[in-house]
Structure 1
């Protein structure tokens, strides 16, 4: 019996050890894939410089300073209802909701739960006031609270977007986005869509019949997709600018045309085909796809009543990235035109 127990303990320990090793390998694999993205950009730049027989431009990706969560939080007002009046809310089925909010846990609930509470309370108050079953004083008091709560709903949406633990953890990163590390992307998309829909209804003076944001919270908090996409757009922009500058700065050493030594041109064209078309463009396509998965709902980040210095950088990062890709493509098109080639034409 003791031998069996001993074997079981050893087996359990082995299983735990294997799990730890597998988890470590997955982390390392993620790091390798992430760093390999940067290696592709660095290799491409080095190859361009080698053909030009000049030094590669030094690239320094920026260290981004992210705002503190407490600087992003906006304090809503606190509206209360007296005990006797609160008892009357049972007529409108709001007593249980308000009671849960007034517990110790309810008072410290996170922004996701707080937003769900605010939407549920507003819906309940709206229905309650429409019944005309309350006395005049309570009706007036609840109408005042409803008006204040209604005005503050965008503030609660902003707090959920910017200062909730889940979305704050998701929003900032120093890791590259890759297709292999895109877990949580679609939960993030769904959460942004839910918040966008809520805000759109609010602007029309309406509330959703059903509002669920909590179901996405755990998945969003585990990953950093919004941060990865932003960081990748910013970093890719830096490398694309450097590569374009490298090409333009030493363009004069690339000869083509009759009676010219076109060796460097042919080698440079090979670099374009093998490293830009073969490696960089597929990655940029993946990054574009990730951004466009979120882009229909990204606008909700900028409806916030928040100082612009605190706005999330993803939208401006994409604008700059898009221009950097255009500038880079324009150089190649101008070079191929100068040398009588079509873009991507093999010779």
Structure 2
């Protein structure tokens, strides 16, 4: 009775946390089973490096400063309703605005400036004073043209929330992680919707939903988890594929008929690959593809030159080119499928064939 009572706390803890096998445990167990069944110990996996998100210093884009003389022009244009905005920006609180508030301000400024220019542009200048007035507006427009895109970059890829989303401390995605994926993608979708405001500014922005989306993205740490998963899968699959390739080369089924070792491999394939590992592949594939596509759209909305450090990170972490983690994982997955096909075909145990023992 005492022994049973001592076992209750850890059992209850396991039930309470809903602890499921983690990805690294799942894949290590799978690799060990394949290697034992194949009779090939190929050593420890080699994992590709996970690219680190660039530091703020390396990813920042300078927000252009507007000269003081330009600000002075605004107070000569009371009809444009820009002077109150500038006073708000130059207040003590305005000087320490987060990127979300600065983006809201720049949208309101842009809208009112465009509205003022359009209204005055429809009128024929009555005198020299009005022509000078229009010239001042053009000067302000030129000075502010590059500010909004730089603030949009600061709000997105230069924000601490994006950095946290790619945290290197994030563990690999668990075998069942749809909640994290859905939260991260919903946050990116909200940001993508706001990118339309770069071309059609609004007179004010609902900051609470934007701030919630950024916080949701940060808390998900989905980008970091996905990169860890891709590196883990690549290393584990390559090592496991090597064991299967050794088995095929050693003619595990020399007469193209099932052997005891071939049948053990077939059971591992059905129970562990098809039953556990392949569903994890599917989750990583589905979530990862959607994540990369969402970032491709959001990056396409950027109007600034990407800093070199970010460009390198994007190529490895957010692209699907030859040097990307996504491409390396894809190649490892194809190799693994082909390795299983060679073994099962050699043993006449391919799915769809009669695998009953005579």
- Same fold per TM (> 0.5)? yes
Residue in 1 that maps onto 2:82: 94
Shift of 1:257: 5.6
Do structure 1's residue 207 and structure 2's residue 187 form an aligned pair? no
Q: 2:106 aligns with which of 105, 108, 118?
A: 118
Q: TM-score, normalised by structure 1?
A: 0.77
What's the C-alpha RMSD, in Å, of the aligned pairs?
A: 3.3
Shift of 1:47: 0.7
- In the alignment, structure 1 segments of 5+ residues that lack a partner are 1-24
8 A Cα contact 1:333 1:343, kept in partner: no
Shift of 1:281: 0.9
Do structure 1's residue 309 and structure 2's residue 309 form an aligned pair? no
Structure of higher RCO (CA pairs closer than 8 Å, 6+ residues apart): 2
- The verdict on how the C-alpha distance between 1:246 and 1:123 changes in structure 2, with shifts beyond 3 A counting, is farther
Residue in 1 that maps onto 2:174: 178
8 A Cα contact 1:48 1:247, kept in partner: yes
Number of aligned pairs?
317
| Distance (whole Å) between structure 2 residues aligned to residue 91 and residue 162 of structure 1 | 36
* Runs of 4+ in structure 1 over 6 Å off: none
Residue in 2 that maps onto 1:50: 36
How do 1:134-153 residues align onto structure 2 when only pairs under 5 Å count? 135-153=130-148
Q: TM-score, normalised by structure 2?
A: 0.75
8 A Cα contact 1:192 1:297, kept in partner: yes
How do 1:178-327 residues align onto structure 2 when only pairs under 5 Å count? 178=174, 183=179, 185-197=181-193, 199=195, 206-209=199-202, 213-256=210-253, 258=255, 262-300=259-297, 302-303=299-300, 305-306=305-306, 307=308, 308-311=311-314, 313-315=317-319, 316-327=324-335
| Distance (whole Å) between structure 1 residues aligned to residue 298 and residue 152 of structure 2 | 9
8 A Cα contact 2:38 2:243, kept in partner: no
| Distance (whole Å) between structure 2 residues aligned to residue 208 and residue 179 of structure 1 | 42
Residue in 1 that maps onto 2:348: 340
